[in-house]
Structure 1
Amino acid sequence: MLIKITDDIMEEYRKRAEKLENDFFSYEAILLIFRYFKTYKKFILSVYKAGLAYIYLDLFDQELENHMGDMPYNDIHRYKVYFYSGALYNVFLKWLQNGMKEHPSAMASMVTEMLEQGAYPLA
Structure 2
Amino acid sequence: MDKRIEANRNTRLRIIRATVRLLGEKKLSDVSVTDIVEEAGVARASYYRNFDSKEDVLLDAGRMIIDDFKKNMQGIEGGCCSYDGVVKTFRYFLSYREPLLSFHRTGCTGIYEGLFQNYIEDEARKNDTDPSARYRASFFSGALFSVYVAWLEGGMEESPEDMARMFCAMAASAFGESR
Alignment TM class, shorter chain as reference: 0.7 to 0.9
Pairwise CA distance, 1:22: 4.3
Find out whether 1:118 has 2:171 as its counterpart: no
Higher helix fraction: Structure 1 or Structure 2? 2
**In 1, Cα distance between the equivalents of 2:71 and 2:78?**
12
Uncovered stretches (5+) of structure 2, i.e. residues with no partner = 1-56
Bigger radius of gyration among the two: 2
Higher relative contact order (CA 8 A, sep 6+): 1
* Alignment match, 2:7: none
Contact 1:57 1:85 in 2 (8 A): no
**In 2, Cα distance between the equivalents of 1:112 and 1:77?**
17
TM-score by length of 2: 0.59
* Alignment match, 2:122: 66
Give the paired residue count: 117
Pairwise CA distance, 1:82: 1.2
Contact 2:121 2:141 in 1 (8 A): no
Find out whether 1:55 has 2:106 as its counterpart: no
**In 2, Cα distance between the equivalents of 1:11 and 1:47?**
17
Uncovered stretches (5+) of structure 1, i.e. residues with no partner = none
Contact 1:20 1:28 in 2 (8 A): yes
Q: Which runs of 4+ in 1 moved over 3 A?
A: none
Root mean square deviation, CA, Å: 2.0
TM-score by length of 1: 0.83
* Alignment match, 1:42: 98
Contact 1:34 1:104 in 2 (8 A): yes
Given candidates 139, 157, 164, the residue that maps to 1:83 is: 139
* Alignment match, 1:4: 60
